[in-house]
Amino acid sequence: MAAEDRNGVLHGKYELGRLLGHGTFAKVYHARNLKTGKSVAMKVVGKEKVMKVGMMEQIKREISVMKMVNHPNIVELHEVMASKTKIYFSMELVRGGELFNRVAKGRLSEDLARNYFQQLISAVDFCHSRSVYHRDLKPENLLLDDDGNLKVTDFGLSAFCNHLRQDGLLHTTCGTPAYVAPEVIGKNGYDGAKADIWSCGVILYVLLAGFLPFQEDNIVALYRKICRGDFQCPSWFSSEARRLITKLLDPNPHTRITISNIMDCSWFKKSFSKNVSSKEEQEFTVENENYGGKLGKETETLNAFHIISLSEGFDLSPLFEEKRQVEKEEIRFATTSPATSVISRLEEVAKTVNFSFKKSDSGVRLQGQESGRKGKLGIAADIFSVTPSFLVVEVKKSSGDTLEYNKFCSKELRPALKDIVWTSSVSNSTAA
């Protein structure tokens, strides 16, 4: 490999080790980051091979998707590198193997199957919230880490919402036959989210039964069974599990159960570990205990260099403008109101949405009570003094999901703070 030196060091950064596995177009190696000492999985794809079969777009799509979907139950992409002949994916090393290997040894207990299914739905829900549809969900694409946590991988066949035609549907037939939704087989187009839900239903059935719901040697006969929704639940399925699977494997996509309804289902909710507190939530609690509601520092002072580094350009007027189509984890705005006014406004917002609230002279910490897609939403607002009567407020997401944070900022924070945001006379005259 051109990017590799004689000692097997890739790009001067990664030491390549043993081969972990290989497919038609890629090999996966164990690798070590020489700087951090951290082990990673290095996926190596030959450019010539993928270009020959027209798969370069698929590779680019996989890179784009994996950069978008940062979730505890999705394999993390650290970075992508390239040489003249190869593309290298440095990815999270998941040591527990495929979920498929677990099922190959026999069916799982209902509790364990539910635990994996809960994690799968959490990951799929997160993807769908970003308008990403996997389209090839199956046990072979679900990995397990050392702690038994599920990790979704292989986004090569995934689609974005911008792949939809004018009818709002996807039209590329893809996926693995036994896991593919009936509408995908047809030529009328399909909803990527509903197709993924069908695949999740097949996976749940396989986990509980130890075999596929639809089995035929002849592909035409297999598709016929899938299109009719022709399957039987084994006798050991509980009545609740049977009901859920029947709703998941509904051949009519319009009446098939939605993810929100799956999450509301009593069978799904049992022993759901979604509310395990994150590191940020634990720190929030410790912070509260240590300071007893005071974060314990005075308002920080900013000099001109700080202002420049805080702002996007030198004009403070656009600091509170919303950036469309971009997920931002922080916003900043200037105000001539005193710090006490800013803090009291934020406290009012916290009360309105039932968030925990802790304050000091220089900022506040807010935290949601309910878990979202990535745990409880945490928000930190710090107040910086430019002059005694001119402040810059920096609001950041400290925990939780960025999309939920942006929604919170748009619907709650911005309206509540709008009248205390400072705008320059230039921006006012322009707006007029």
pLDDT at residue 116 in the model? 95
pLDDT at residue 404 in the model? 85
Estimate the crossing angle of helix 110-129 against helix 192-209, to 10 degrees. 170
Q: What are phi and psi of 363, to 5 degrees?
A: 170, 180
pLDDT at residue 325 in the model? 42
Contact call for residues 273 and 119 (beta carbons, < 8 A): no
Estimate the crossing angle of helix 239-248 against helix 192-209, to 10 degrees. 150
Is there a binding annotation on residue 105? no
**Which residues of the chain have a pLDDT value below 70?**
1-8, 23-24, 53, 55, 58, 61-62, 65-66, 68, 155-175, 272-329, 360-362, 423-432
Q: Which residues are catalytic?
A: 136
CATH topology for 279-431 is TATA-Binding Protein (3.30.310)
Q: What are phi and psi of 188, to 5 degrees?
A: -95, 5
- Both tokens of residue 100? 């498929």
Q: Which residues fall within 8 angstroms of residue 262, CB to CB, at 6 or more apart?
A: 121, 197, 244, 248, 268
Q: Which CATH class is domain 9-92?
A: alpha beta
Contact call for residues 11 and 81 (beta carbons, < 8 A): yes
Cα 15 to Cα 4, 27, 91, distances in angstroms: 9, 15, 14
pLDDT at residue 10 in the model? 83
pLDDT at residue 38 in the model? 92
Cα 267 to Cα 103, 150, 241, 257, 403, distances in angstroms: 21, 19, 7, 14, 28
CATH topology for 99-274 is Transferase(Phosphotransferase); domain 1 (1.10.510)
- Alpha carbon 33 to chain centroid, angstroms: 24
The DSSP code for 170 is: B
Contact call for residues 111 and 271 (beta carbons, < 8 A): yes
Give residue limits of the domains in the chain: 9-92, 99-274, 279-431
CA dihedral (151, 155, 158, 162) positive or negative: positive
